[in-house]
Amino acid sequence: MISIRGLTKIYHTKLNQIKAVDDLDLDVKKGEIFGVIGYSGAGKSTFIRLMNRLENPTSGKIMIDEEEITALSKDQLRVSRQGIGMIFQHFNLLWSRTVHENIAFPLEIAGVPKAERIKRVDELIDLVGLSGRGDAYPSQLSGGQKQRVGIARALANNPKVLLCDEATSALDPETTDSILNLLVDINQKLGLTIILITHEMHVIRKICHRVAVMEAGKVVEQGDVLDVFLHPKLPVTKRFVEQVMGDREQDDALDKITQSYTTGKVVRLHFVGEITNQAIISTVAKQFDVQANILQGKITQTQKGAYGTLFVHFDGEESEIQKAIDFITSTSVKVEVGLHD
C-alpha cells in the first residue's frame, strides 16, 4: 500500500544543515494502523508532513497505492491529496464555520454538488458521534468534539490513507481513549490505512498493529507492537515500553522489598496472549513444595494480544524451586531468574 525508500529532508541554516529525516525506508500494509513513535526532535512530524508533501523531501521516493507522490506536479498533487486525509494535534478548524461547514469544506474545494455534500456531511457527523452538533461552532465544542470534527473533515473525500499527527496529545486521558476507539472503529468499518505519529506508547499499545521507532531522523527499530513490547532492542525503545509496562518508583520499591529476602529466588515472568489468563502461580503452589509470593505485576492489552509481567518470590528447597521454574518455562512463559538476588 505504502512504500517509502531513501526519504530524506534536510533543512539548511546559516551555520549548518539539519537532517530532520535521514534516509528512511518504510512499508505500510493496506488496512493496518501503523504507529511512528519518537521523542521531540526525532523527525516524526516532518516525516508525516512529507507523506502528503506539506513538506517537500530533499530526496527519496514515496509510493501510495502505486502512485509516486514525490513525482507529482502541483496540479497532480492537488488531486492526489484528496485520497490522503490528515488530522492535527490542534484540530486546525475554521472557527467562523459550523461543524457542518467545516466538514463540508474539502468537498467544496473538490467541487462536489451541494446536495451530495449535505448527504456526505450528515453521514460523517453520525460516524464520528456528533449527531445534533452540526450547527455548533468550534468554540462551543470540547477538545474531543473538535478532534471528531477534524476526523470527519479528513474523511470527507473518502481517502485511502489517514495521517494522524499527534492527534491526541492535546486531550485528557479519557478523551484520548475515546478518540483512539473511534480511529479503530473507522479502520475496521472503512478498511482505512492509518499512519499515526505520537510520543506516547499508550497510544501505540492501544490501537496500532505495527510500530516504527524514530530517533535522530532514522527508523531505529520496527515490528509488530507485541514483539516490540516483548523484545525492545534499543535504549530509546525500552524507555517507551517503560511508559506502559514499567514504573521506576515501583521498581525502586521492588528493589527494597527483595533485598529483605535471604532465601529462595525472585523471578520475573513474561506472559503473552492467552497465557495471561492461566492460573499458573496457583498451579505451581499446588504441584510443587514451594511458597509463592507475588511482589508486583501488570498486564496490558495490544491489538495482537495481552502482554504481562509478574515478579514472584519462590521459597523452598532449591531443587523444588527449579522444578517449579522448569514447569513455568514449559508453558511458554518467559522466565528471568535471579533478579535482585
Cell numbers at 212, concatenated:
516504527
Residue 224: which residues within 8 A CB-CB, separation 6 or more? Answer: 209, 210, 304
| Residue 73: other Cβ atoms inside 10 A | 7
Q: Burial, 85: exposed, middle or buried (Cβ in 10 Å; 0-12, 13-18, 19+)?
A: buried
* Helix H or strand E segment including 207: helix 201-207
Q: Burial, 247: exposed, middle or buried (Cβ in 10 Å; 0-12, 13-18, 19+)?
A: middle
Mean of the per-residue pLDDT values of the chain: 89
User: What percent of the chain clears pLDDT 90, i.e. is strictly above it?
Assistant: 64
Q: What is the CA radius of gyration of the chain?
A: 24
Amino acid identity of residue 208, one-letter, is: C
- Gap between the Cα atoms of 238 and 229, Å rounded: 8
CA-closest candidate to residue 52, choices 25, 33, 78, 26: 78
- Gap between the Cα atoms of 306 and 278, Å rounded: 12
Mean pLDDT on 314-330: 90
pTM exceeds 0.85, yes or no? no
Domains defined for the chain, CATH in brackets: 2-244 (3.40.50.300), 257-337 (3.30.70.260)
| Residue 40: other Cβ atoms inside 10 A | 7
Q: What is the pLDDT of residues 202-235, one digit of tens each?
A: 899 899 999 999 999 999 999 999 888 878 899 9
Q: What is the pLDDT of residues 117-133, one digit of tens each?
A: 999 999 999 999 999 99
